[in-house]
Amino acid sequence: MSENIDLLKLLARIDDLRLEIREIFPEIEEKVDSKSSNFMEILIEEQLRNEETIQKLQNEIQWLKMGKLPKKLEKIPEKNWNCLSEKLKLRCIKFLDLKDRLRLRQTAHNERNLVDFLQFHVDEMLIFGSQNFLNLYKNGESILKISWKNSNFPKNWKTSQILTLFSIFKTSTFDNCVIYQAPNEFDSIFQTFFQKCPPIRTCELFSSGFSIITAGLAKKCREFTKIYECELQETSVDILQKMTAALHVPQLRVLNLNGGHAECNILIKGWISQNPAIRSELFVQFNGDFNVDKFFKKFRKMLARIHGEFEREFRMTDPSKWIFIQITKSSSTIKCTVVGAGI
Amino acid sequence: MSSTEQGTSSAAPAEPTTAPESAAAPEVPESFYYVHGKDKVVHKVSAGALQHSALIHGMISNLGYTEEQAKANPFPFENIDGDILQMVVDWCNQHKGKPTPPEDTNLPKQKEKLFDLVLAVNYLEIKELLTYCCKQVAMMVKGKSPEEIREIWMIPTDAEDEAAEKEAKKRAGKEAAGETAAAAGDAK
């Protein structure tokens, strides 16, 4: 009797198991219906499957022990920005405006390098020195305005707007950089500013007035035309010498110069002493009654060995060096062009 | 426009449903080529549409691939997903012999698909479509803050990058140690 009860219990247990199996492996059900309802077969099948599962789990444990992710847990990497090549990234960055590029620059080191590599072209940069204000123009529209009036420069310069300003200098190329300022104003700020300032890539630098700001910018600029519009106090020897002193200056234009023989002499001598390269130009526009012809009569005696009417060869302080300059003059302007040099 | 067939490359491709030519123009029979992606679904594309892809155009002109050969052996692009290839084929068909417009609004907006498309288009060398796609990628982050850009484009920070590099080095070291141990075991 008890044996029968045990058998019934066993059958009931098998039934339960069968239901459980159907829940876990619904695909077995089809086979069970189509083939036979032999529980033993199902149990054997289940056992085999369990063994397979156990084997798989053991493999996965092995993988984990080796410090690798099991294959099924490995995430299929989602395609994103990092999947693109540098070339493709640059192609995308090309479509970003300056503000977005400056933001992208802050995300990671690699992105910063990419943004700096792909220079953004700006038509004009206006710096209002006396108001600590900068305005950038592209295609006749203002694209960015920055004011650094309340910046704690140089104390917290890394968190100030000055850092944005430096980023702009790093990421952009300018056609023209115009500085409006009161001479020598904010010198204490700008002396520190220009020590940290990165080079500025501008084709032209126009300065209304000349000060430490201009001198600093001129030193930091590369391959550009310098244009200075002078004011009365800038005819001093010191300032005129500074004007010509910036290195790597192929073109220098001094406009509205209030001066005479002495000032013109300082400019030309100063410019020559910088060893200007071939095709370098010095253009001086005088303001007032300065007589260019009279000056050159004296100038010729003082410095020149004549090669034709308007051509002069200047001996440098080192006798082995020489430059050959072509001079064009009108009633109020002088243009000197280097046409040959032996240095 | 383009016909898509499920199955292997040997399956007979369906007839094209191209736009009718103008009545005055002399009818020149257009040749068709076949391409398939990762999913092995064959896409039938006209030679005119394939002109957009410098890669396929080069393959046809340089290798002298005839229409019959193309029918038997479609160009395999195993590294391009089927749906992405479908998009590319559709675009090529839409812009067949037409000047490309300055904007394309039909490009996918989903991030993953767009990056997939950029990679595929770059591989197939379709310049105009690549320009649109890159513009679309750039538009994703327009006006966003650096944190948002990092999130959208999944750019790892410098610290994360360094950590990942360290992890990779560690793993490589472990693998190398495991290999040497296995080799020593084999030797024994």
pLDDT of res. B179: 75
Residues whose CB falls within 8 Å of the CB of residue B32, separated by 6 or more in sequence, listed in order: B13, B16, B44, B45, B46, B47, B67, B70
Q: Is residue B176 part of a domain?
A: no
A96 contacts B141? CB cut-off 8 A: yes
Tell me which chain B residues have a C-beta less than 8 angstroms from the C-beta of A114: none
Domain boundary among A257, A272, A288: A288
A36 with A96, same domain: the answer is: no
Q: What is the mean pLDDT of residues B45-49?
A: 83
The dihedrals phi and psi of A204, each to the nearest 5 degrees, come to: -135, 140
Question: B178 pLDDT band (50/70/90 cuts)?
Answer: confident
A100 with A188, same domain: the answer is: yes
How far is the first Cα of chain B from the last one, in angstroms, to the nearest whole number? 66
pLDDT of res. B146: 92
Candidates A66, A82, A85; nearest CB to B154: A82
Q: Is residue A185 part of a domain?
A: yes
Choose the mutation target among B83, B149, B169, B175 for the interface with A, i.e. most A CBs under 10 Å: B149
Cα nearest neighbour of A107 on chain B: B146
A210 with A136, same domain: the answer is: yes
- The answer to whether B100 contacts chain A (CB < 8 Å) is no
Tokens matching residue B80: 């391009």
Rounded to the nearest angstrom, the minimum Cα separation between A254 and chain B is: 42
Task: Compute CA distances A266 → A165, A238, A259, B131, B170, whole Å.
Answer: 35, 10, 11, 55, 67
pLDDT of res. A292: 74
Q: Is residue A118 part of a domain?
A: yes
Number of domains in chain B: 1
| H-run or E-run covering A201 | strand A200-208
A257 with A114, same domain: the answer is: yes
Tell me which chain B residues have a C-beta less than 8 angstroms from the C-beta of A82: 153-156
Which residues pair with residue A282 across a beta bridge?
A: A252, A336
CATH of the domain at B12: 3.30.710.10
A26 with A160, same domain: the answer is: no
| A interface residues, B as partner, C-beta within 8 Å | 66-68, 78-85, 88, 91-97, 99-100, 103-104, 106-111
Rounded to the nearest angstrom, the minimum Cα separation between A74 and chain B is: 15
Cα nearest neighbour of A99 on chain B: B143
Q: Is residue A195 part of a domain?
A: yes
Candidates B122, B138, B145; nearest CB to A96: B138
Higher per-residue confidence, A76 vs B28: B28
B150 contacts A108? CB cut-off 8 A: yes
Choose the mutation target among A91, A99, A114, A143 for the interface with B, i.e. most B CBs under 10 Å: A91
A145 with A273, same domain: the answer is: yes
Range picked from A239-243, B79-83, B109-113 for highest mean pLDDT: B79-83
Candidates B116, B134, B144; nearest CB to A95: B134
Nearest Cα residue to A122 out of A134, A140, A98, A138: A138
The answer to whether B127 and A53 have CB atoms below 8 angstroms apart is no
pLDDT of res. B58: 83
The answer to whether A103 and B144 have CB atoms below 8 angstroms apart is yes
Distance CA(A210)–CA(A231), nearest Å, equals: 8
A192 with A277, same domain: the answer is: yes
- List of chain A residues with pLDDT < 70: 1-5, 7-8, 25-44, 56, 60-78, 129-130, 148-160, 181-195, 209-217, 219-225, 228-236, 245-250, 296-323, 341-343
Distance CA(A321)–CA(A274), nearest Å, equals: 12
pLDDT of res. B11: 39
Cα nearest neighbour of B121 on chain A: A88
The answer to whether A199 and A173 have CB atoms below 8 angstroms apart is no
Tell me which chain B residues have a C-beta less than 8 angstroms from the C-beta of A93: 138
Domain boundary among A265, A288, A311: A288
A37 with A95, same domain: the answer is: no
Tell me which chain A residues have a C-beta less than 8 angstroms from the C-beta of B149: 103-104, 107
Question: B149 pLDDT band (50/70/90 cuts)?
Answer: very high
Nearest Cα residue to A178 out of A151, A139, A204, A212: A204
Residues whose CB falls within 8 Å of the CB of residue B23, separated by 6 or more in sequence, listed in order: none
How far is the first Cα of chain A from the last one, in angstroms, to the nearest whole number? 123
Number of domains in chain A: 2
Rounded to the nearest angstrom, the minimum Cα separation between A101 and chain B is: 9
Q: What is the mean pLDDT of residues B142-158?
A: 90
- The answer to whether B146 contacts chain A (CB < 8 Å) is yes
Higher per-residue confidence, A301 vs B42: B42
A33 with A92, same domain: the answer is: no
Q: Is residue A129 part of a domain?
A: yes
Range of the domain at B123: 3-16+28-140
Q: Is residue A313 part of a domain?
A: no
A103 contacts B145? CB cut-off 8 A: yes
Residues whose CB falls within 8 Å of the CB of residue A227, separated by 6 or more in sequence, listed in order: A204, A205, A206, A207, A253, A254, A255
Q: Is residue A234 part of a domain?
A: yes
B155 contacts A82? CB cut-off 8 A: yes
A111 contacts B134? CB cut-off 8 A: no
pLDDT of res. A150: 61
What single letter denotes the amino acid at residue A201?
R
Q: Is residue A88 part of a domain?
A: yes
Instruction: Tell me: pLDDT of B142 over 80.
Output: yes
What single letter denotes the amino acid at residue B110?
Q
B115 contacts A83? CB cut-off 8 A: yes
Q: Is residue B153 part of a domain?
A: no
pLDDT digit string, tens, across residues A277-292: 777 888 888 777 777 7
A36 with A132, same domain: the answer is: no
Residues whose CB falls within 8 Å of the CB of residue A324, separated by 6 or more in sequence, listed in order: A307, A311, A312, A313, A338, A339, A340, A341
Q: Is residue B96 part of a domain?
A: yes
Range of the domain at A30: 2-65
pLDDT of res. A113: 93
Domain boundary among A288, A312, A337: A288
What single letter denotes the amino acid at residue A212?
I
